[in-house]
Chains A and B, each alone.
Chain A
Amino acid sequence: AQSVTQLGSHVSVSEGALVLLRCNYSSSVPPYLFWYVQYPNQGLQLLLKYTSAATLVKGINGFEAEFKKSETSFHLTKPSAHMSDAAEYFCVTLSGGSYIPTFGRGTSLIVHP
């Protein structure tokens, strides 16, 4: 069975600092990978997705993620955090042929002024 591990349930950064949210997947075949963001009391929005076209994926709001097969990782980064980035972030995988996405537990990003 697939699994997704997000290291750290909470990540705290200062405004302007680098954001790094970690995601590791377990799959014998490279899956499709996604990062979603959730603001309080709202649904999830897609930040970016990896579908094997390119290993470095750029998303909205200045976020990007790099697929590393050797490390089975898909970490999310942003060079400079903004207060508006404070939210919950979910790493999600979907294997080809499956209709059941697998969610990580989520990482809450806290941005300090």
Chain B
Amino acid sequence: DGGITQSPKYLFRKEGQNVTLSCEQNLNHDAMYWYRQDPGQGLRLIYYSQIVNDFQKGDIAEGYSVSREKKESFPLTVTSAQKNPTAFYLCASLGQSNTGELFFGEGSRLTVL
């Protein structure tokens, strides 16, 4: 079945460490997104990519980095520069037409110890 796979589901990190969250899709979608979700704050856009080898900062990009070397993959690195990284992270892709819906992964919960 087609879909988006995020891993790991749960991740613990010590302060000062970088961590990378994986996002893979087999939907052949061009546009992909990373969102951060905190209780009571909805979804906030971190980065997005409309095409391979190109990506743009969203509203809260500081302390994060991404790459888009393959259409299927859009990994997110949470760097040590991110002051408050504990959150739920969601990856999504957009249907082929921009009238289409977003498809979401199951999310990754990062906890900094």
A-B contact count (CB 8 A): 55
Assembly CA distance A51 to B31 (angstroms): 19
Interface string of A16-49 (1 = CB under 8 A from B): 0000000000000000101010000111111001
B50 within 8 Å of A by Cβ?
yes
A55 within 8 Å of B by Cβ?
no
| Contacts beyond the supplied A41-B88, A99-B48, A104-B42: 9 A-B pairs with Cβ under 8 Å | A32-B99, A42-B106, A43-B90, A43-B106, A43-B107, A44-B102, A46-B101, A101-B102, A105-B42
Q: Are B31 and A99 in contact (CB under 8 A)?
A: yes
Contact status of A96 and B43, CB under 8 A, knowing A41-B107, A42-B107: no
A80 within 8 Å of B by Cβ?
no
Assembly CA distance A97 to B107 (angstroms): 27
B94 within 8 Å of A by Cβ?
yes
Interface string of B4-42 (1 = CB under 8 A from A): 101000000000000000000000000101000000111
Chain A residues contacting B6 (CB-CB under 8 Å) are: 43
Q: Are B42 and A103 in contact (CB under 8 A)?
A: yes
Overall SS of chain A's interface:
loop
Chain A residues contacting B90 (CB-CB under 8 Å) are: 43-44
Chain A residues contacting B101 (CB-CB under 8 Å) are: 34, 46, 49
Listed from nearest, the 9 A-B pairs whose CB atoms lie closest are A43-B104, A105-B42, A44-B104, A43-B106, A46-B101, A103-B43, A106-B42, A99-B31, A51-B99
Q: Are B48 and A96 in contact (CB under 8 A)?
A: no
Q: How many residues of B contact A (CB 8 A)?
A: 24
A86 within 8 Å of B by Cβ?
no
Assembly CA distance A104 to B40 (angstroms): 11
Q: Are A43 and B98 in contact (CB under 8 A)?
A: no
Q: Are B41 and A100 in contact (CB under 8 A)?
A: no
Q: In the assembled complex, how far is the CB of residue B75 from the closest CB belonging to chain A, in whole angstroms?
A: 17
20 inter-chain pairs at a CB distance below 8 angstroms, sorted by A residue, are A34-B101, A36-B102, A41-B88, A42-B107, A43-B90, A44-B90, A44-B92, A44-B102, A49-B101, A51-B99, A96-B98, A98-B98, A99-B31, A100-B45, A100-B48, A101-B33, A101-B102, A103-B43, A106-B42, A106-B43
